[in-house]
Amino acid sequence: MNPEEYESLRGRLIDAVWRDLEPLVEQIENTEHIPHETLWTRLLEMGALGLLIPAQYGGSGLTITQYLPLIAEISKVHGGIRALVHVHNSMCHALWELGSEEQRGEVLRRAVRGEASVAFALTEPEHGTGRDVGTLALRDGAGGYRIRGRKWLITNSNFASHFIVFARIPDGDVPVSLLVPRDARGFTIRGLPETMGCKGGQHGELTFADVPVGADALLGEEGDGIAKMEQALEISRVLVAASSLGTAERALELSLAHAHDRVTFGKPIGTRQAVQRYLAEMAVDVYALREMLRDAAAKWDRGERIPAEAAMCKVFGSEVVGRVTDRALLVHGGIGYTRAHDIERLYRDARLNWLEEGTPTIQHMVIARELLGGGARARALAGATAKGRRER
């Protein structure tokens, strides 16, 4: 999309976010339920369902650099809506990156029209992250598989039409990724308890009771499962960090307004050194995260893989949004702990960012692995130069 078209789209979408989505927030917070049909219609009308889907499938075909400020803006309005939009767009992008032309064609054109959506099925109740996957893909003798196992905390499970499911073939412990339709026989979904923040979305539990899928469900080749998972997570982590940025920006914006408006002892609290320090620290964090995201997005858009940069953005974004919303609460004082101000909701919504696409310990592991891997990339990440590098 050329710059003129993009700026027009960006302006229309941001206007629609505050005009059409913000009025839903109070209802969602009161009922802990997103009115899916209403929201989906509004997202479709504003063009938010095909932002990362290429134009050949009817989407906008945005670059990651172009998409980041849009998901950040949605994060300012409501965390539950943001989570829904994030998973839909990032997993459609993952299918475009990882799937065959037949798999893309089946889903992506319908996703742009709001008739399909893709969710990410990795996390399990009895296993860890990444290689520790308990879900089995048993070869059925006809070239397909029977999936057996459980996933949980799967966002958008209440409406997704397809799930990217990570499993392993027990014979040889071969990792695979499979595209599973919602209506597959033996596949059941149930909701889990409501979350602390990001209200209204469903993070469900999936049960696979020998679910049959054909060979055409396989994403890539047998043995590609871990690589496919890591590639899907890579850019999604950047997008979670962009969500952290949006929440932090909104918290800073509201805190600045409150520091001007709140008067004690005859002066705005913004004249007080302690409050000024809070605001300055918040601004430093926001600025640093924004620049990190620009760098990571530019590299991805150039066709580079960014495992370390994505993990850095994700873990730093989580820390930033935690610190900024902490300080926003302190700037607002006691009234900020009530629903009289949006800070209370932003504070709760921010905490999901710690957990999405891997906890901080996972991000640290990925970063360290890349740094210790050696080669030019590791040296560049560490900022080493030929002259300043200590030879081993």
What's the longest Cα–Cα distance across the chain?
80
26 token code pair: 């109070």
| Strand pairing report for 118-121 and 162-169 | parallel
Report the relative pairing of strands 203-213 and 187-190 from DSSP bridges. antiparallel
Q: Which positions are annotated as active-site residues?
A: 357
Give the up-direction half-sphere exposure of residue 116: CA atoms within 13 A in the CB hemisphere: 23
* Whole-number Å distance between alpha carbons of 288 and 377: 22
Q: Quote the tokens at residue 345.
A: 């909701």
Can you tell me the distance from the alpha carbon of 107 to that of 118, in angstroms, rounded to the nearest whole number?
8
**Beta pairing, strands 267-268 & 263-264:** antiparallel
Structure tokens at 311: 């993990």
Contact 110, 54 (CB under 8 A): no
Give CA separation, 171 vs 143, 145, 208, 367, in Å.
14, 12, 19, 31
CA nearest neighbour of 52 among 122, 118, 4, 121 = 118
Query: Cβ distance 129 to 123 under 8 Å?
Result: yes
Coil/strand/helix, residue 131: coil
